[in-house]
């Protein structure tokens, strides 16, 4: 029996648009006062924490005012020393320029399968980024006018497992910089799992790299369809080595492609090394796939290390065919960037059967701890937990303990008896839903939610998937996701936005032989071919189409990682673009994309399901300004100073799975002349 999974957009929450046509308007009229009223009525969770993040030191001088890497710098700090825009004048921000890429010209059929998640980099005199369809574009940083464009002509008739998206590019500039063609180059991964090199100055293909500027990443097994295997995140560069991971469709089969990380000579494209987190047994009897690196890696050039956030061994929801902890899956892995050899690894989830892979770039931060500076790696997670590790050894800086977790999985499952939990740092979002406090606008809605929750097994974080149904909370989109975190080095403050949404997961006995031909990461049903169970999952919505979990459905927090405390936490996002007539209730919304922090004391972030770029006070998290976007801002912004003027730039093109407004805009904000 050949099988094709049914595609759903699990985060679109389309019923919101129906129910909000009537009920939110009535709520606004009857209960002026917003979120506080919801809480007073007992239908909201008070996740707010009000505090003040105090400065502990001056910002290190190495922090610049440019943006040379996808994460701001090679360690993913997402911090800029630019301070022309500050807390006193941010309300004066206005649109400086808007560039439309034209990405959908001739590609309208792929519109709802695309997400514009890119973050530009500033290289020499150009702002360079990739579009949803792997075009590379260079703009004038001051005007937004196009300087050059490269289009690899990727096919759009397939169905990539993780949508058409490209989060960023990497820059390679050998020293001394050559004046010849491709003396400096930009690297990008594509939906076809190619690594492409183009000239930084002209956008022409670097023909000496691989074949005509392209290197094909070959999977370890034959693919079922081309979109099963792609590259979505920016590669990284160390010296003359370019390194990339891959994105592989989950839950398709137990006999799955390996999650190999590949390193190539940045000039020639010759293979330098490759690393597989879970190697096949020598006898070939046990073949465990995936544990790939689909998110962004980080580089410590001084130590010569590259840090990987690895994902789950395949398939995500049943591990009986892959006994043990599956090291180094679900781990932060530090490799020698020259050789690919493991220096250290720290596993954050043992024997994952929840799709709790590591979705975010490991943050290479420098904190002040008891008056001494210390280099750390900070990993934010889908579970809402934050791990702080020593950069040289991988040992926890904030202590971690192994705690017993729920057992009694399905027949054949081999669960880990314990999981790691940071001792001092509480989760940013909760992991339990009390059926007696189920969310609902009406009593009928609330009671229906409560009944549904009682039908699902929920014993807290790491409750195993079951045939009867299990509550996954936080859901597989997080907690945190690919937007990662930002770091204010003057305050030891990690700024992170997270989701607060629940999901139901069911396992189904595989009584028929199914050969999967296609699957999406947002599939409602997945075959897990070769396992004794198939899997279905979906967000838990009330009869009126709203999440069972109480608002806020999205939060943003400031966490002091030296003290191990959440300093402030606030609802993030409004119903402005979900409700009729622009009704904006600050209930928090699911969000994808991340924050950046500046020396001006500001956080800039899009991400939420309303079409805004926001500026928040880094000390308190309070909103100071918001600028309207022409489409969804499900991307991480960036900032830079050009010709003595500070700009804040974000890609506004929406997120297909979330159902936000789709577009092809890059928008820059600045202070008026």
- Beta carbons of 407 and 417 less than 8 angstroms apart: yes
Q: What is the DSSP string of 360-375?
A: SPPEEEEEEETTEEEE
Rounded-to-integer distance, Cα 378 and Cα 21, Å: 42
Alpha helices in 399-531 (DSSP H): 443-455
In angstroms, how far is CA 349 from the centroid of its own chain?
Answer: 17
- Beta carbons of 277 and 270 less than 8 angstroms apart: no
- The arrangement of strands across the sheet holding 565-571 comes to 486-488, 493-499, 554-560, 565-571
Cβ atoms within 10 Å of 286's Cβ, excluding its own: 12
Helices (H), strands (E): how many in the chain?
A: 4, 42
Q: How does DSSP classify residue 298?
A: E
Angle at CA of residue 219, ends 217 and 223, nearest 5°? 125
Q: Which residues contact 124 (CB under 8 A, 6 or more apart)?
A: 184, 200, 201
* CA 265 to each of CA 100, 122, 179, 194: distance values in angstroms, whole numbers, following the listed order: 34, 23, 20, 15
Tokens of 659: 């159902």
Pairing of strands 486-488, 515-518: unpaired
3-state secondary structure of 670: strand
Q: What is the DSSP string of 567-610?
A: EEEEE---STTTSGGG----------S-EEEETTTEEEE--SSS
Name residue, tokens 């729920």: 406
Nearest of 604, 391, 401, 626 to residue 488 by alpha carbon: 604
- Beta carbons of 618 and 487 less than 8 angstroms apart: no
Element (H, E) at 39: helix 35-40
Angle at CA of residue 660, ends 542 and 588, nearest 5°? 55
- Beta carbons of 502 and 547 less than 8 angstroms apart: yes
Angle at CA of residue 239, ends 236 and 245, nearest 5°? 25
Q: Which residues contact 153 (CB under 8 A, 6 or more apart)?
A: none
Nearest of 494, 479, 490, 493 to residue 592 by alpha carbon: 479
- Beta carbons of 130 and 120 less than 8 angstroms apart: no
Residues annotated as part of the active site: 355
**One-letter-per-residue 3-state SS of 104-127:** CCCCHHHHHHEECCCCCEEECCEE
Angle at CA of residue 304, ends 300 and 308, nearest 5°? 60
Element (H, E) at 16: helix 15-19
3-state secondary structure of 240: coil
- Beta carbons of 620 and 87 less than 8 angstroms apart: no
- Beta carbons of 79 and 597 less than 8 angstroms apart: yes
Rounded-to-integer distance, Cα 218 and Cα 340, Å: 18
Rounded-to-integer distance, Cα 243 and Cα 335, Å: 11
Pairing of strands 515-518, 2-4: parallel
């Amino acid at each position: 029996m050949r099988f094709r999974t049914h595609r759903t957009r699990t985060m679109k929450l389309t019923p919101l648009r129906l129910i909000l046509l009537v009920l939110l308007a009535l709520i606004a009229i009857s209960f002026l006062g917003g979120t506080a009223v919801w809480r007073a009525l007992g239908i909201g969770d008070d996740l707010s924490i009000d505090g003040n993040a105090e400065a502990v030191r001056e910002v290190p001088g190495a922090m610049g005012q440019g943006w040379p890497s996808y994460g701001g710098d090679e360690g993913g700090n997402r911090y800029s020393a630019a301070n022309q825009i500050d807390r006193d004048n941010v309300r004066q921000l206005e649109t400086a320029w808007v560039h439309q890429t034209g990405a959908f010209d001739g590609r309208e059929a792929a519109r709802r399968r695309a997400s514009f998640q890119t973050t530009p980099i500033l290289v020499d005199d150009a702002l360079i980024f990739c579009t949803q369809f792997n075009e590379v574009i260079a703009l004038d940083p001051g005007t937004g006018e196009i300087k050059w464009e490269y289009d690899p002509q990727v096919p759009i008739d397939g169905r990539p497992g993780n949508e058409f998206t490209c989060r960023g590019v990497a820059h390679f500039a050998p020293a001394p910089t050559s004046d010849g063609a491709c003396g400096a180059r930009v690297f990008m991964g594509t939906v076809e799992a190619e690594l492409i090199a183009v000239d930084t100055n002209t956008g022409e293909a670097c023909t000496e790299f691989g074949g005509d500027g392209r290197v094909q990443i070959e999977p370890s097994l034959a693919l079922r369809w081309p979109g099963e295997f792609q590259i979505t995140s920016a590669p990284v560069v160390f010296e003359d080595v370019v390194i990339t991971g891959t994105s592989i469709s989950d839950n398709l089969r137990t006999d799955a492609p390996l999650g190999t990380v590949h390193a190539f000579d940045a000039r020639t494209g010759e293979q330098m090394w490759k690393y597989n987190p879970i190697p096949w047994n020598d006898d070939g009897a046990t073949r465990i796939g995936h544990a790939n690196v689909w998110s962004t890696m980080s580089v410590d050039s001084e130590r010569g290390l590259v840090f990987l956030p690895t994902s789950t061994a395949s398939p995500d929801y049943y591990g009986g065919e892959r006994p043990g902890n599956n090291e180094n899956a679900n781990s932060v892995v530090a490799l020698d960037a020259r050789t690919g050899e493991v220096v250290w690894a720290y596993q954050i989830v043992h024997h994952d059967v929840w799709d709790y892979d590591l979705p975010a770039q490991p943050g290479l931060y420098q904190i002040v701890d008891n008056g001494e500076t210390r280099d750390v790696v900070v990993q934010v997670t889908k579970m809402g937990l934050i791990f702080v590790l020593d950069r040289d050894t991988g040992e926890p800086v904030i202590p971690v303990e192994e705690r017993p977790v729920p057992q009694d999985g399905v027949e054949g499952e081999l669960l880990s008896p314990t999981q790691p939990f940071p001792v001092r740092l509480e989760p940013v979002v909760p992991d339990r839903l009390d059926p007696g406090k189920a969310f609902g606008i009406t009593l009928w809605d609330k009671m229906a939610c409560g009944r549904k929750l009682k039908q699902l097994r929920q014993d807290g974080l790491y409750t195993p998937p079951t045939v009867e149904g299990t509550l996954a909370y936080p859901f597989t989109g997080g907690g945190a996701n690919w937007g990662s975190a930002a770091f204010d080095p003057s305050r030891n403050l990690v700024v992170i936005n997270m989701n607060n949404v629940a999901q139901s997961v069911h396992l189904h006995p595989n009584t028929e032989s199914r050969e999967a031909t296609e699957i999406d990461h947002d599939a409602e049903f997945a075959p897990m071919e070769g396992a004794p169970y198939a899997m279905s999952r979906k967000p838990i919505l009330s009869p009126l189409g709203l999440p069972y979990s109480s608002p806020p459905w999205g939060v943003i927090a400031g966490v002091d990682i030296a003290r191990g405390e959440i300093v402030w936490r606030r609802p993030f996002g409004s119903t402005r673009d979900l409700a009729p007539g622009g009704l904006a209730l600050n209930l928090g919304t699911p969000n994808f994309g991340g924050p950046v922090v500046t020396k001006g004391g500001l956080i800039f972030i899009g991400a939420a399901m309303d079409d805004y770029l926001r500026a928040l006070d880094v000390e308190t998290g309070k909103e100071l300004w918001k600028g309207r976007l022409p489409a969804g801002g499900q991307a991480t912004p960036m900032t830079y100073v050009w010709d003595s003027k500070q700009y804040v730039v974000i890609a506004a093109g929406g997120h297909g799975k979330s159902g936000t407004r789709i577009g092809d805009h890059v928008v820059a904000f600045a202070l008026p002349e």
